[in-house]
């Protein structure tokens, strides 16, 4: 039943898994047994060589993470989490059983997808996509994601976003590229999936901008980023896979960094709202720099690794002549700057709203994951083709052509290339120049006695008045017609409607089991008469 | 060694022990263990047929094939675990008189090779079940017992009609002979027979729409009794239902009718469980749901699905015994069975037991329920029953809603009181939990056993 094989793809995901768990395990001392189980189940998924092992890993992942989060979240959120994830698991089981029916085996290498008759292929694809969408939080299956990420313990949110959401991506690559083989899939279906990914990223980006809670913002941002990965993976060729893998790696480390950074802030201040935070740069400059690195990676700006993955995504779409998708993705990632700005401004800049005396002391353990993640982001910005060197064995093992590159500094796509080393050098040079200028000016500025001492503006603020409006970013977006529509609507009422229908039918059907014994007798007699009337033959 | 021991020894234990009331529990444990040893001694020489003739047609014919041996061993193991669980409770020892009677009758039910003996054991089982229901000695228990008696009477009337028509037309009560000659009966009589037997056994096998009485009975009985009802009595009747169905050679139309009833049964009971606030009722609905799954699998005429069903029968028997006994511990402590008691206790052990039981019921790996579900789905899909597969998966999700609600409630913050669980009860519950995990991870050997049972049950020519 359990059998494993070591593949380059599994190695990559296991490395991510190890990095995430390795850097966080020391911070989360409770539930160690369940954490270990979760780690093992993820590893099982990554190294499985048959569908049953994969499914076992998948379900153990669902319930072990459920038992970890259930202590911290509300009952309703926990219910959402487990029902959606079990539903995804059951969809996967349905697809597995269907594949087994036609190919007679569960083992990856023995499955010949060609044997599946054409009418059954689309149901299999749809079941698999439901599984992937639920795990990755693609609209309309993202209903469980936000509340779970928000209410789960801060460190565990990092694990949820950094590695567990990647299990969906792994499943996508394994099933659609390795097992099914991309040539069978109808392009129409892939187009729909690609658009769902993009729509998810646009909607989630705007939802993220309008959040007042730090963790909800990151939760929406996580959905949006995974949306990009799903979109680019639908381009089933070597550059699509490469871009998807690149963004997976980047997103894992960016979200690890950001969630741990936010966790540090929440630990220090016990606050999770932009409207209650601000000005923390003076007390925690290291955290500020870490977050800066994180959002540069998140926004996909040079000189960090995030730029390389965005570059690959854009060129892949351009190469495939998916102009509309490209425009939509660019729109979404340009809008993402807004929430990146909100993160850094709302927390670290502006005037301080928390009393430093009430701050809790942050343990060094909180810094280690951030250092690791930012180091990787910087290295990947400097040597963008380092990742390509890791991806090439994966591409070869999945039957694609490896990508050539001359030096590790240079990242090539089919019609463009850039030199990460040079960009980094330029940025460092500019940074040094600006730093010199700023320090020389700073020596000449007059220090105010108190940061609230701005009464020359005409108003005299008191310590409680809000002097920075970073948290208000996104409020005005509600008035923009298209974006306002996104912000006002949500899928929750539709899912809740389903729940209400099931509950109502439950109350209705329950009456059958409270019938008086006379009525049960009557039912029996009626059944007897009906059956006798119909007859057996 | 005679097969009669399986019936006589428990009956003897049951009727003689009023004279040794204080040793009752030890005697019944000894009987269980003895019979367990005895049943293993038959392992090499299957199948065994024994008959004791009186005036024809009255005779006692016992058949022990791998199917009946499997069920005997299952029931004996359940009874052994139950006896060990209850052995220290001096106040409720009288239950053993009745459990021994129940054991004798279910052994008789699965061993009998003639249909009139089945009727007799059917009545013995019913009588012990009525009294077991009334053990709680309150208003609810008595009214439950009365309701149970009325339903039992209805069932036995229909069963008697079926047996009568068979005897009038074929002149024999032996199951093998009936199986050979049944196709020669006139079509209308055949319908009447099949329908009467369906209703008679269907009421006892708790299939929709003949199961509306069941949940009330579970609510009226104590948890220990429910444990036995759910894991012994209902399993015996399921076996009997399909044993007789396959002997009579029912056709594909009837089988698909049974599969439809199964899926409705599964769906209706799981949906009903969603809004139930009484844990006994919740577990009763869940039992009805699993019976629905068993009906789907057993009527698929696929040997793989039947194997899965046999696996599920054994596993569900263990799981429900475990869950009802855990509920018994909770009810003892809080004297309530409202679902709110899940918020009140603080015992990692009991929560783990419940979690293992629930996950196994849902068919989530790596627990035994998963293997059963996977095997059943494999069998159904090779028969191209796509709708049934889809329905099972969707309804399992509905089942997950209420089971995980209970688990979630147990982790909610609030006032908790600790539980003091005696080491013996802990041991019994752990054995069951570990066997569920073991069957989930190393199922191969047990699947092979289940396959031979399935072949014996379905009959090679029916595959």
Helix axes B95-111, B115-133, angle to 10 degrees: 160
Collapsing DSSP states into helix, strand and coil, what is residue A347?
A: helix
Contacts of B374 in chain A (CB under 8 A): 52, 93, 97
pLDDT, position B365: 86
ipTM: 0.91
A79, B408 in Cβ contact below 8 A? yes
pLDDT, position A471: 67
Residue indicated by tokens 């569960």: A106
Segments making up each domain of chain B, as ranges:
251-463
Three-state SS string over chain B comes to CCCCHHHHHHHHHHHHHHHHHHHHHHHHHHHHHHHHHHHHHCHHHCCEEEEEECCCCCEEEEEECHHHHHHHHHHHHHHHHHHHHHCCCCCCCCHHHHHHHHHHHHHHHHHECEHHHHHHHHHHHHHHHHHHHHHHCCHHHHHHHHHHHHHHHHHHHHHHHHHHHHHHHHCCCEHHHHHHHHHHCCHHHHHHHHHHHHHHHHHHHCCCCCCCCHHHHHHHCCHHHHHHHHHHHHHHHHHHHHHHHHHCCCCHHHHHHHHHHHHHHHHHHHHHHHCCCEHHHHHHHHHHHHHHHHHHHHCCCCHHHHHHHHHHHHHHHHHHHHHHHHHHHHHHHHCCCECCHHHHECCHHHHHHHHHHHHHHHCCCCCHHHHHHHHHHHHHHHCCCHHHHHHHHHHHHHHHHHHHHHHHHHHCCCCCECCCCCHHHHHHHHHHHHHHHHHHHCCHHHHHHHHHHHHHHHCHHHC
Residues A21-43: tens digit of each pLDDT: 988 888 877 788 889 999 999 99
Contacts of A521 in chain B (CB under 8 A): 150-151, 154
DSSP-assigned letter for residue A186? -
Contact across the interface for B199 and A527, Cβ inside 8 Å: yes
Nearest by CB to A513, from B272, B382, B396: name it.
B272
Residue indicated by tokens 């039947």: B306
Torsion-angle region of residue B172: left (phi > 0), alpha (psi -120 to 50) or beta? beta
| Encoded tokens for A365 | 């353990």
Residues near A403 by beta carbon (within 8 Å), at least 6 away in sequence: A238, A239, A242, A388, A391, A392, A395, A412
Give the helix ranges, DSSP H, for A351-491: 367-382, 385-397, 420-442, 481-488
d(CA A66, nearest CA chain B) in Å: 9
Of the candidates A232, A173, A231, A215, the residue with the CA atom closest to the CA atom of residue A72: A215
d(CA A46, nearest CA chain B) in Å: 17
Mutate to test the interface with B, among A31, A506, A514, A530 (most CBs of B within 10 A): A506
| Encoded tokens for A242 | 């490469």
Contact across the interface for A101 and B390, Cβ inside 8 Å: no
| Encoded tokens for B253 | 């139309």
d(CA B412, nearest CA chain A) in Å: 6
pLDDT, position A468: 64
Residue indicated by tokens 């969630």: A259
B180, B173 in Cβ contact below 8 A? no
Q: Would you call B461 exposed, middle or buried from its count of C-beta atoms within 10 A (0-12, 13-18, 19+)?
A: exposed
Residues near A39 by beta carbon (within 8 Å), at least 6 away in sequence: A17, A21
End-to-end CA distance of chain B: 33
End-to-end CA distance of chain A: 44
- CA dist., res. B174 & res. A248, Å (int): 69
A46, A189 in Cβ contact below 8 A? no
| B366 lies within 8 A of chain A by CB | yes
Contact across the interface for B154 and A515, Cβ inside 8 Å: no
Contacts of A506 in chain B (CB under 8 A): 271-275
Per-residue pLDDT of chain A (537 residues; tens, 9 = 90+): 788 889 999 999 999 999 999 888 888 777 888 899 999 999 999 999 989 999 999 999 999 999 999 888 888 899 999 999 999 999 999 999 999 988 888 888 888 888 888 888 888 989 999 999 999 888 888 889 999 999 988 888 999 998 999 999 999 998 888 888 766 777 788 889 999 999 999 999 988 888 888 899 999 999 999 999 999 988 888 888 889 999 999 999 999 999 999 999 999 988 888 888 878 888 888 999 999 999 998 988 888 888 888 989 999 898 888 889 999 999 998 888 888 888 888 888 877 777 778 888 888 888 989 999 999 999 988 888 888 888 899 988 888 888 888 888 888 877 788 888 888 889 899 989 999 988 888 777 666 655 555 554 566 666 666 666 666 777 777 888 888 888 888 888 898 898 899 999 999 988 888 888 888 888 888 988 888 888 765
pLDDT, position A56: 93
Of the candidates A347, A358, A357, A356, the residue with the CA atom closest to the CA atom of residue A468: A347
Q: Sign of the CA dihedral B62, B68, B69, B75?
A: negative
Torsion-angle region of residue B301: left (phi > 0), alpha (psi -120 to 50) or beta? left
Chain A residue with minimum CA distance to B362:
A86
Collapsing DSSP states into helix, strand and coil, what is residue A492?
A: helix
For chain B, positions 266-305, list CB contacts with chain A under 8 A.
Answer: 268-269, 271-276, 281, 285
d(CA B18, nearest CA chain A) in Å: 34
Give Cα B354 to chain centroid, integer Å.
20
The per-residue b/e assignment along A258-282, b for 16 or more CB within 10 angstroms, e otherwise, is bbbbbbbbebbbeebebbebbbbbe
Of the candidates B178, B312, B320, the residue with the CA atom closest to the CA atom of residue B245: B178
Contacts of B404 in chain A (CB under 8 A): 66, 78-79, 82-83, 86
> Parallel, antiparallel, or unpaired for β A417-419 and A410-412?
antiparallel
H/E stretch holding A418 reads strand A417-419
| B22 lies within 8 A of chain A by CB | no
For chain B, positions 388-427, list CB contacts with chain A under 8 A.
Answer: 389-390, 393-394, 396-398, 400-401, 404-405, 407-409, 411-412
Residues near A363 by beta carbon (within 8 Å), at least 6 away in sequence: A27
Neighbours of A230 (CB within 10 A): 25
Residue indicated by tokens 């800066």: A292
Neighbours of A4 (CB within 10 A): 14
Of the candidates B280, B320, B329, the residue with the CA atom closest to the CA atom of residue B85: B329
| Encoded tokens for B130 | 């009525």
pLDDT, position B272: 92
Contacts of A531 in chain B (CB under 8 A): 191, 195, 198-199
Three-state SS string over A330-341 comes to HHHHHHHHHHHH
Per-residue pLDDT of chain B (463 residues; tens, 9 = 90+): 678 888 888 888 888 877 777 778 888 888 889 888 888 888 877 778 887 777 666 678 888 888 889 999 999 999 999 989 888 876 666 788 888 899 999 999 998 888 888 999 999 999 999 988 888 778 888 988 999 999 999 999 999 999 999 999 888 888 888 888 888 888 888 888 889 999 999 999 999 888 888 999 999 888 989 999 999 999 999 999 999 988 888 888 888 889 999 999 999 999 999 988 999 999 999 999 999 999 999 988 888 999 999 999 999 999 999 999 999 888 888 888 888 888 888 888 999 999 999 999 999 988 999 999 999 999 999 888 899 999 999 999 999 999 999 998 888 777 788 888 888 889 999 999 999 999 999 999 999 999 988 988 887 655 4
B177, A517 in Cβ contact below 8 A? no
Chain A residue with minimum CA distance to B202:
A524
C-alpha distances out from residue B62 to B2, B43, B440, Å: 10, 16, 34
| Encoded tokens for A322 | 């998916």
Contacts of B269 in chain A (CB under 8 A): 513
Q: Would you call A289 exposed, middle or buried from its count of C-beta atoms within 10 A (0-12, 13-18, 19+)?
A: middle
Residue indicated by tokens 């089981």: A93
Q: Would you call B19 exposed, middle or buried from its count of C-beta atoms within 10 A (0-12, 13-18, 19+)?
A: exposed
A265, A287 in Cβ contact below 8 A? yes
DSSP-assigned letter for residue A411? E
Of the candidates A428, A274, A435, A415, the residue with the CA atom closest to the CA atom of residue A347: A274
pLDDT, position A87: 93
pLDDT, position A458: 61
Chain A residue with minimum CA distance to B403:
A79
| B381 lies within 8 A of chain A by CB | yes
- CA dist., res. A166 & res. B83, Å (int): 49
Give Cα A183 to chain centroid, integer Å.
28
Mutate to test the interface with A, among B284, B404, B439 (most CBs of A within 10 A): B404
Collapsing DSSP states into helix, strand and coil, what is residue A395?
A: helix
Contacts of A524 in chain B (CB under 8 A): 154, 199, 203, 210
Of the candidates B344, B318, B349, the residue with the CA atom closest to the CA atom of residue B331: B344
Contacts of A98 in chain B (CB under 8 A): 381, 386
pLDDT, position A447: 63
- CA dist., res. B374 & res. B394, Å (int): 14
Contact across the interface for A70 and B408, Cβ inside 8 Å: yes
Size of interface A-B (CB pairs under 8 A): 152
Dihedral angle over CA of A483, A489, A490, A491, nearest 10 = -120
Segments making up each domain of chain A, as ranges:
1-168, 186-485, 492-534
Nearest by CB to B271, from A509, A535, A537: name it.
A509
Give Cα B395 to chain centroid, integer Å.
21
| Vertex A347: Cα angle to A343 and A349 (nearest 5) | 105
A208, A150 in Cβ contact below 8 A? no
Mutate to test the interface with A, among B274, B390, B399 (most CBs of A within 10 A): B274
C-alpha distances out from residue A350 to A275, A282, A460, Å: 11, 10, 17
Distinct helix (H) and strand (E) counts, chain A: 20, 2
């Amino acid at each position: 039943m359990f059998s494993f094989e070591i593949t380059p793809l599994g190695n990559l995901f296991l490395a991510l898994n190890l990095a995430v768990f390795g850097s966080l395990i020391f911070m989360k001392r409770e539930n160690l047994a369940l954490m270990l189980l979760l780690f093992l189940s993820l590893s099982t998924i990554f190294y499985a060589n048959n569908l049953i092992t994969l499914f076992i890993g998948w379900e153990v992942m669902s319930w072990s993470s459920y038992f970890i989060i259930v202590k911290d979240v509300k009952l309703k959120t926990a219910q959402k989490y487990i029902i959606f994830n079990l539903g995804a698991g059951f969809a996967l089981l349905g697809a597995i059983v269907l594949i087994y029916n036609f190919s007679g085996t569960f083992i990856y290498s023995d499955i010949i997808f060609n044997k599946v008759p054409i009418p059954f292929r689309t149901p299999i694809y749809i079941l698999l996509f439901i599984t992937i969408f639920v795990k990755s939080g693609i609209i309309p299956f993202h209903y469980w994601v936000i509340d779970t990420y928000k209410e789960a313990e801060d460190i565990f949110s990092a694990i949820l976003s950094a590695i567990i959401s990647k299990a969906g991506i792994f499943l996508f690559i394994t099933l659609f590229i390795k097992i099914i083989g991309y040539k069978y899939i109808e392009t129409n279906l892939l187009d729909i999936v690609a658009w769902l990914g993009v729509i998810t990223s646009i909607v989630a980006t705007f939802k993220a901008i309008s959040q007042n809670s730090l963790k909800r913002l990151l939760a929406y941002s996580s959905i949006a980023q995974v949306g990009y990965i799903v979109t680019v993976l639908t381009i089933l060729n070597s550059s699509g896979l490469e871009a998807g893998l690149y963004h997976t790696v980047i997103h894992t480390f960016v979200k690890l960094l950001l969630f741990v950074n936010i966790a540090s802030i929440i630990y220090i201040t016990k606050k999770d709202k932009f409207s209650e935070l601000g000005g923390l740069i003076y007390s925690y400059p290291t955290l500020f720099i870490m977050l800066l690195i994180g959002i540069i990676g998140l926004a996909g700006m040079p000189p960090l690794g995030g730029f390389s993955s965005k570059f690959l995504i854009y060129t892949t779409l351009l190469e495939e002549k998916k102009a509309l998708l490209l425009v939509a993705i660019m729109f979404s990632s340009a809008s993402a700057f807004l929430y990146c700005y909100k993160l850094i401004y709302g927390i670290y800049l502006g005037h301080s709203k928390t009393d430093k005396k009430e701050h809790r002391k942050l343990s060094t353990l909180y810094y280690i994951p951030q250092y690791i993640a930012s180091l990787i982001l910087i290295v990947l910005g400097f040597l963008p083709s380092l990742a390509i060197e890791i991806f090439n064995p994966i591409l070869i093992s999945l039957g694609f052509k490896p990508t050539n590159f001359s030096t590790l500094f240079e990242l090539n796509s089919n019609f463009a290339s850039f030199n990460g080393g040079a960009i980094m050098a330029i940025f460092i040079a500019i940074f040094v120049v600006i730093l010199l200028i700023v320090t020389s000016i700073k020596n000449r500025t007059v220090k105010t006695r108190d940061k609230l001492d701005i009464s020359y503006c005409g108003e005299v603020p008191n310590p409680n008045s809000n002097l920075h409006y970073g948290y208000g970013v996104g409020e005005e977006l509600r008035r923009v017609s298209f974006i306002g529509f996104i912000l006002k609507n949500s899928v929750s009422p539709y899912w809740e409607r389903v729940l209400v229908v099931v509950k109502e039918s439950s109350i209705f059907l329950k009456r059958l089991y409270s019938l008086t014994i006379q009525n049960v007798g009557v039912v029996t007699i009626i059944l007897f008469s009906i059956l006798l009337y119909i007859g057996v033959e | 060694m005679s097969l009669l021991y399986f019936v006589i020894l428990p009956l003897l234990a049951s009727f003689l022990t009023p004279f040794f009331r204080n040793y009752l529990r030890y005697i019944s444990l000894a009987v269980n263990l003895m019979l367990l040893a005895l049943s293993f001694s038959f392992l090499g020489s299957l199948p065994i047929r024994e008959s004791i003739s009186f005036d024809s047609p009255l005779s006692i014919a016992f058949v022990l094939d791998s199917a009946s041996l499997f069920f005997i061993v299952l029931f004996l193991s359940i009874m052994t675990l139950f006896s060990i669980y209850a052995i220290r409770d001096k106040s409720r020892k009288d239950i053993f008189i009745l459990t021994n009677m129940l054991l004798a009758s279910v052994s008789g039910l699965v061993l009998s090779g003639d249909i009139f003996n089945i009727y007799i054991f059917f009545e013995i089982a019913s009588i012990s079940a009525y009294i077991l229901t009334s053990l709680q000695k309150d208003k609810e228990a008595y009214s439950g017992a009365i309701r149970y008696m009325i339903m039992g009477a209805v069932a036995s009337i229909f069963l008697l009609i079926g047996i009568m028509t068979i005897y009038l037309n074929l002149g024999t009560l032996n199951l093998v002979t009936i199986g050979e000659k049944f196709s020669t009966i006139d079509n209308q009589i055949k319908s009447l027979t099949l329908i009467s037997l369906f209703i008679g056994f269907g009421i006892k096998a708790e299939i929709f729409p003949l199961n509306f009485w069941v949940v009330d009975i579970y609510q009226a009985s104590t948890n220990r009794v429910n444990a036995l009802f759910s894991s012994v009595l209902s399993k015996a009747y399921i076996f009997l239902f399909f044993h007789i169905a396959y002997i009579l050679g029912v056709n594909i139309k009837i089988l698909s009718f049974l599969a439809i009833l199964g899926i409705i049964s599964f769906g209706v009971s799981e949906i009903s469980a969603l809004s139930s606030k009484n844990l006994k009722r919740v577990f009763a609905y869940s039992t009805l749901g699993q019976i629905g799954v068993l009906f789907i699998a057993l009527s698929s005429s696929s040997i793989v699905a039947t194997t899965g069903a046999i696996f599920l029968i054994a596993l569900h028997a263990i799981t429900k015994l475990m869950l009802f006994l855990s509920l018994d511990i909770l009810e003892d402590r809080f004297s309530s069975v409202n679902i709110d008691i899940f918020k009140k206790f603080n015992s990692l052990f009991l929560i783990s037991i419940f979690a293992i039981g629930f996950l196994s019921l849902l068919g989530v790996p790596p627990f035994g329920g998963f293997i059963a579900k996977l095997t059943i789905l494999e069998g159904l899909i090779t028969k191209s029953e796509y709708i049934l597969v889809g329905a099972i998966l969707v309804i399992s999700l509905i089942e997950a809603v209420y089971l995980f609600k209970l688990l979630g409630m147990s982790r909610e913050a609030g006032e908790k009181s600790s539980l003091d669980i005696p080491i013996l009860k802990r041991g019994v519950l752990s054995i069951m939990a570990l066997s569920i995990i073991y069957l989930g991870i190393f199922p191969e050997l047990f699947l092979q056993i289940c396959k031979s049972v399935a072949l014996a049950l379905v009959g090679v020519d029916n595959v």
